[in-house]
Chains A and B, each alone.
Chain A
């Protein structure tokens, strides 16, 4: 098997990228990159098609290829994306899922959404570019939309944070002891302040 995993052929309506046998995606990506780089400006403005002879390419991988080809000025035609597979129910690539209790002094910072299956205890910090969901009790500090996205939310099965931040707004619970809410709640920004609502209102 000395065969190249990737072959690029010129056709009438652009180039065809043929994946001849199964290999890990990073190798394939690098091969395509090398080949296209040798071509320099030659491919600019052209069309590309992807043919998969063996194996498969996931939806996520296809998008990565598309982005890479765009950098070379190539448009990936997706009229016949052969054998691409989207995994049903697989997490979005920009979501971090943690199945653990986040304890005092532990800090999670992620450029995406963060889902904690467990509690986030007082003294812990969760900082996310996107939304924060806690399937448990949120008692620590949570900062959603940390890069400025005011549409981000913080939701928890029990929302009892020490402090909440969404985008550039900081809030803390009222000093007087109010009754503990008995259900899941969602915090979001409305007119520049953080409001907290029971979950079913969303």
Chain B
């Protein structure tokens, strides 16, 4: 029996879909797990684009739920990575096309056959969110180091707790070590202090994510990407390995190096 993990955030644009794609790919690529990713963002599907599988969609989630096709027919196998599958969302329907009960049935069917069922949750806390969490037994929260994203993450954690989820895990995405160092960005401790949940990973801001997303090639498979490395670590932590959080130190600037040379403390 596999586990169903929902990736959610409340706020939009913080990297839920990117995270789903990278964790899914990571688990299949590094750990050879059988993984299916469900795009629960009906009407605004993205996961297929990020995965570069858009042109292979024939049937979608709503077709499965409405009995237009069999579940197997709608699953898209990713040819680059063994054991990685995608169940795409419908683009021409909306969130009301599916009910939480139907999502639960769907997840339970999929967990029979897969090690991991990852549900990419839409932004917001309405119907789409309720559908996405209905069949899940674990949750990963994605937040960026912005006050508004953290606020929404807090709200979502509250809703998840009310729905019976125990200990959601947090991924802090798009952190910029240089800005944190200058005190212009919330640091990891500030965020953990408010959200009071376990940290699953910290993903640095990385231009390569933009490139890989546009190309439809998850960064986790890119050896040269810092974000990819961070996602590889997240993958290993999901599998129960104890991997320390990546150090995010930045190179000291020329001025700082000079100050250190003269034995002065670096300016905080």
Contacts and interface: CB of A to CB of B under 8 A. Distances in A.
Nearest to A101: B196
A14 B213 CA distance: 87
Interface in A101-142: 101, 103-106, 118-119, 121-123, 137, 139
Nearest to A121: B154
Nearest to B197: A101
Contact of B155 (A104, A137, A139): A104
23 contacts: A101-B196, A103-B154, A103-B155, A103-B157, A103-B158, A103-B161, A104-B151, A104-B152, A104-B158, A105-B158, A105-B159, A106-B158, A118-B196, A119-B194, A119-B196, A121-B154, A121-B194, A122-B151, A122-B154, A123-B151, A123-B155, A137-B193, A139-B194
Nearest to A118: B196
B1 to A, nearest CB: 30
Interface of B: 151-152, 154-155, 157-159, 161, 193-194, 196
For the complex, would chain B's binding face be called helix, strand, loop or mixed by DSSP majority? helix
Contacts of B152: 104
Contacts of A104: 151-152, 154-155, 158
Contacts of A137: 193
**Chain A residues touching B, range:** 10 to 19
Contacts of B196: 101, 118-119
Contacts of A106: 158
Nearest to B153: A104
Contacts of A119: 194, 196
Nearest to A123: B151
Contacts of B155: 103-105, 123
B184 to A, nearest CB: 14
Given A101-B196, A139-B194, 9 more contacts: A103-B155, A103-B157, A103-B161, A104-B152, A104-B154, A104-B155, A119-B194, A121-B194, A123-B154
A197 B10 CA distance: 37
